Amino acid sequence: MCIILFNLVVLFIQFIAASVSTAIILADIMRIIIKNKNLRLKMEQE
């Protein structure tokens, strides 16, 4: 019984870690997209 609980906890921790890393990657992508939009706007204004 203890082993099953331990495995569930490990799986849960891995799931949270995967979610966090995915969120960080998505945030980076969004930041790059926003930077590119800002650069395009600056070029159009000049």
User: How far is the C-alpha of 38 from the C-alpha of 13, rounded, in Å?
Assistant: 38
Q: pTM surpassing 0.75?
A: no
Residue of higher predicted confidence among 39 and 24: 24
Residue 5 φ then ψ, to 5°: -60, -45
Q: Mind listing the pLDDT tens digit for each residue in 26-39?
A: 999 999 999 999 88
Amino acid at 40: R
Helices (H), 1-46: 2-45
Check residue 39 and give its pLDDT.
86
